[in-house]
Amino acid sequence: MRNFSLKMNNFTALIKKTLVMNRYNGITLDEFIILKEKDYPDAKGNLSKLLRDIGVASKVINREVNKAGLVDILGAAGKTNIQDEEQQKLDVFANNMLINYLKNGGQCTGIGSEENEDVIVVDTPDGHQAHYVVLMDPLDGSSNIDINASIGTIFSIYKRKSPVGPCNLEDFLQEGNKLVAAGYVIYGSSTMMVYSTGNGVNGFTLDPSIGEFCLSHPDITTPDTGKYYAVNQSNYAFFPEHTRRYIDWLVNEKRKGLRYIGSMVGDMHRTLLQGGIFMYPATTSSPQGKLRLLYECIPMAFLMQQAGGRASDGHQEIMDIVPQELHQRSPIYIGSTRLLKRVDQFVEKYSEAIS
Ligand code: P6P
């Protein structure tokens, strides 16, 4: 009986997606954003314009990423970013491109970027009036640029808390539950934008022949389990006991496969579409993990929640964490609900006594 109902659910989901595809077949990102604006009665088009600005900037970044192997924009730009990581020239290009489009688009009052130590205040009359702040990792996974593996742009959008005028840091330090929108662009075998404004997750593939993102993955939902887990296994000995035992369970009892690209956008895209779990746990040398809360963990947690999955730091939901600093890090366990539930059980059973 369970198999029959599972088959019926899959069949219904397929029919639903086919109907959506037929209805929206070939719709571009711009058309879709404007169409979906009707879901928000008080929408004035500002968020739609901001999302379109990010879409245009990512098309320009995509053009440079695609030719990176041909022209001299590979290799380090000779500087290091706030994370003390060597900045690749494409990192710098992507950061500057997004900042320019956001500043000139008139919908953004401030920007927090992985590449900049402090927030960027859009100190113009439009910027003072704008409603939204954007947090971003302009080119995540940039260490993969030279080996042609997937890299991506990750973004979060919040409504400002401060009144009209120059924004301030408090506008950025907001929990994930306050997000207005979030998404990523993955520059891989094809270039896709995946985003949500809190009403489901949709994916758009860039059609180079017309230079438009077109709806290709309507209403993305994450299965409640999956075949793969993704973690940097070389850190195994340095994970907390609960995580080591959880990984042992995944491998020895559930026979899950390991898939790890080393680029969060690539690993998350697979997990979002196919289910499974992505982890970047705390280690003895990095007790807060490596990934940044505001522009890596929270936007991905938002998308995963919207797609029916979950994300925690091992003890609390990522979406509930109130950020204290712009570049703070957080451990993250994110993916299918049934696999996250098991994380909770292993943490409860094997958490080291809090010293
Ligand atoms: P490690 C890329 O540098 C990144 O910030 C994420 O995209 C990725 O998930 C993680 O770091 C990989 O880190 O330590 O496994 O190389």
At 73 the pLDDT is 56
Rounded to the nearest whole angstrom, what is the distance from the C-alpha of residue 64 to the centroid of ligand 1? 22
pLDDT at residue 352 greater than cutoff 90 = no
CATH number belonging to domain 228-350: 3.40.190.80
At 71 the pLDDT is 62
Q: Is 163 helix (H, G, I), strand (E, B) or coil?
A: coil
Q: Which atom of ligand 1 lies nearest, measured to the CA of 278? A: 9
Between the two ends of the chain, the Cα-to-Cα distance in Å is 49
Hey, where are the domains in the chain?
A: 23-217, 228-350
354 pLDDT band, cuts 50/70/90, is very low
Work out the mean pLDDT of the chain and round it to a whole number. 91
For the chain, the C-alpha Rg in angstroms (whole number) is 20
16 pLDDT band, cuts 50/70/90, is low
Tens digit of each residue's pLDDT (9 = 90 or more) over 167-217 = 999 999 999 999 999 999 999 989 999 999 999 999 999 999 999 999 999
Which of 165, 180, 171 shows the shortest CA–CA distance to 51?
180
Distance in angstroms (rounded) separating the CA atoms of residues 81 and 77: 10
Rounded to the nearest whole angstrom, what is the distance from the C-alpha of residue 114 to the centroid of ligand 1? 13
Rounded to the nearest whole angstrom, what is the distance from the C-alpha of residue 38 to the centroid of ligand 1? 38
Tens digit of each residue's pLDDT (9 = 90 or more) over 242-270 = 999 999 999 999 999 999 999 999 999 99
Phi, psi torsion values for 149, nearest 5 degrees: -90, 165
Query: In a mutational test of the pocket of ligand 1, which residue from 288, 290, 332, 333 has the highest number of ligand atoms less than 8 Å from its CB?
Result: 290
At 18 the pLDDT is 61
Q: Give the rounded distance of the alpha carbon of 305 from its chain centre.
A: 12
Tens digit of each residue's pLDDT (9 = 90 or more) over 70-85 = 665 555 666 666 777 6
46-66 and 89-105 helices, crossing angle to 10° = 160
CATH number belonging to domain 23-217: 3.30.540.10
88 pLDDT band, cuts 50/70/90, is low
Question: What does pTM read for this prediction?
Answer: 0.90
Query: Which residues sit with their C-beta closer than 6 Å to ligand 1?
Result: 140-141, 143, 232, 262-264, 267, 290
